[in-house]
């Protein structure tokens, strides 16, 4: 049977490269430099016993005592001894070459270590700089969102002031203008709200206040509040939530934000005449909610990215849909702050999307256990 030569038994490539290194070292002065290369002396010392032993044994076998004359005679009689006499030089050369190769390797190692230390230092410096910039960005985000919020609150206050007729009666044209101003102010308010949430998530100050919550009621309220956008696009809304669903441990305000965001997205990405369904089902220890639409759907390769901050599938400047790609990031954070909260999506382009989330039932927890879970859950400082 033919035996296969494996790389463990004989590595031809390694053999060739080692041989090349050795031959190159033979051509270098360092290989023969006794002062710089201690290996040469070591080799010579190893080689000296060879002629002594061979000539000594030859003399002993011939019954001759060792002297300069008998040694010379023996060498003349058997010139093969010349080869043994050369052994200290051969050993010196071989060991010297090995020393040269070893010195080269050491030098390469030192160089590599030095560059590694230098690169590490550069990386640490860059990291420090990035952290500083990150802190600056966090401060900037928090400062800008708060600074934008203040004048906007004033604008919204004056809109209400005008709507209430406190500045006198408004003409039909003024009403229309006021309505558009109000819609745009609300849109801005939502965007600023998302920026504030993002800055809180990034600084670790984002929190939810958990309590036993009836999500059926919250979902119904949100569906009603969005009646106008549904009607404007002739979208049919189906509330398929079961009448009796167990309470879940949740933050009612934040869950209202979750439903609003998912339903607003469903309206945004569903063409006129489509359908949006809100449903839920009870699982062992959790309740699962689903918001499905018959909209444009999401390509498979994008599904993993849509929860990333600022990510939008259509991010062209002249994109068709508004928003800034923060809604899903925020609601993912909200859901994950809840006990065992999880959110995911199933979708296919042209065949609509189904956003699912599940939360733990509060009914399972009693007395002390429930007390422990109720209250604030804060997110650690994180990069979303």
In the complex, minimum distance from the CB of residue 275 to ligand ADP, in angstroms, rounded to a whole number: 12
In the complex, minimum distance from the CB of residue 359 to ligand ADP, in angstroms, rounded to a whole number: 19
In the complex, minimum distance from the CB of residue 159 to ligand ADP, in angstroms, rounded to a whole number: 24
Selected range binding ligand ADP among 9-17, 53-61, 91-99, 293-301, rule: CB under 6 A: 293-301
In the complex, minimum distance from the CB of residue 312 to ligand ADP, in angstroms, rounded to a whole number: 3
Distance of CA 232 to the CA centre of its chain: 41
* Ranges within 320-339 binding ligand ADP (CB under 6 A): 323-329
* Ranges within 199-238 binding ligand ADP (CB under 6 A): none
Nearest to 362 by CA among 341, 331, 344: 341
Determine, following the binding rule CB under 6 A, whether residue 306 of this chain makes contact with ligand ADP: yes
Length of the chain in terms of residues written:
384
Determine, following the binding rule CB under 6 A, whether residue 192 of this chain makes contact with ligand ADP: no
Distance CA 319, CA 30 (A): 69
Do the Cβ atoms of 370 and 362 come closer than 8 Å?
A: yes
Which lies closer to ligand ADP via its Cβ, residue 219 or residue 306?
306
The DSSP output letter for 239 is E
Distance CA 365, CA 66 (A): 102
Selected range binding ligand ADP among 82-90, 160-168, 234-242, 307-315, rule: CB under 6 A: 307-315
Angle at the Cα of 382 (from 381 to 384), degrees rounded to 5? 150
Three-state DSSP at 340 gives coil
Nearest to 21 by CA among 90, 89, 87, 99: 99
Contacts of 165 (CB under 8 A, 6+ apart): none
Determine, following the binding rule CB under 6 A, whether residue 247 of this chain makes contact with ligand ADP: no
Determine, following the binding rule CB under 6 A, whether residue 295 of this chain makes contact with ligand ADP: yes
User: Can you tell me which of 312, 357, 361, 379 binds ligand ADP, judged by CB under 6 A?
Assistant: 312
Distance CA 67, CA 27 (A): 38
Determine, following the binding rule CB under 6 A, whether residue 197 of this chain makes contact with ligand ADP: no
**Residue numbers at the binding site for ligand ADP (CB under 6 A):** 261, 265-266, 269, 293, 295-296, 298, 306, 311-314, 323-329, 353
């Amino acid at each position: 049977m033919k035996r296969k030569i494996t790389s463990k038994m004989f590595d031809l490539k390694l053999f060739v490269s080692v041989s090349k290194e050795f031959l190159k070292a033979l051509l270098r002065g360092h290989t023969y430099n006794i002062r710089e290369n201690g290996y040469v002396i070591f080799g010579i010392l190893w080689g000296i016993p060879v002629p002594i032993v061979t000539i000594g044994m030859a003399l002993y076998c011939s019954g001759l005592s060792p002297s300069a004359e008998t040694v010379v005679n023996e060498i003349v009689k058997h010139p093969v001894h010349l080869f043994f006499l050369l052994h200290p030089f051969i050993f010196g050369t071989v060991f010297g070459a090995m020393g040269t190769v070893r010195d080269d390797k050491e030098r390469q190692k030192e160089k590599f270590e030095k560059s590694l230390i230098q690169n590490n230092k550069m990386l640490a410096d860059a990291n420090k700089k990035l952290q500083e910039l990150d802190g600056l960005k966090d401060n900037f985000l928090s400062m800008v969102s708060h600074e934008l919020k203040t004048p906007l609150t004033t604008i919204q206050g004056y809109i209400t002031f005008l709507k209430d007729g406190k500045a006198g009666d408004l003409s039909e044209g003024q009403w229309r203008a006021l309505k558009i101003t109000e819609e745009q102010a609300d849109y801005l308010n939502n965007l600023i709200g998302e920026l504030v949430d993002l800055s809180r998530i990034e600084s670790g100050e984002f929190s939810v206040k958990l309590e036993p919550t009836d999500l059926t009621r919250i979902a119904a309220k949100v569906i009603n509040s969005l009646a106008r956008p549904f009607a404007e696009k002739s979208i049919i809304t189906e509330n398929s939530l079961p009448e009796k669903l167990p309470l879940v441990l949740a933050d009612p305000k934040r869950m209202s934000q979750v439903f609003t965001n998912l339903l607003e997205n469903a309206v945004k990405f569903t063409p006129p005449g489509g359908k949006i369904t809100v449903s839920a089902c009870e699982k062992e220890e959790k309740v699962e909610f689903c918001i499905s639409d018959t909209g444009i759907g999401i390509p498979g390769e994008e599904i993993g990215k849509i929860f990333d901050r600022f990510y939008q599938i259509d991010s062209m400047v002249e994109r068709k849909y508004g928003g800034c790609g923060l809604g899903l990031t925020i609601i993912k954070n909200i859901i994950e702050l809840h006990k065992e909260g999880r959110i995911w999506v199933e979708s296919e382009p042209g065949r609509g999307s189904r956003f699912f989330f599940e939360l733990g039932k509060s009914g399972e927890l009693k007395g002390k256990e429930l007390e422990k879970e109720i209250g604030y859950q804060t997110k650690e400082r994180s990069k979303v």
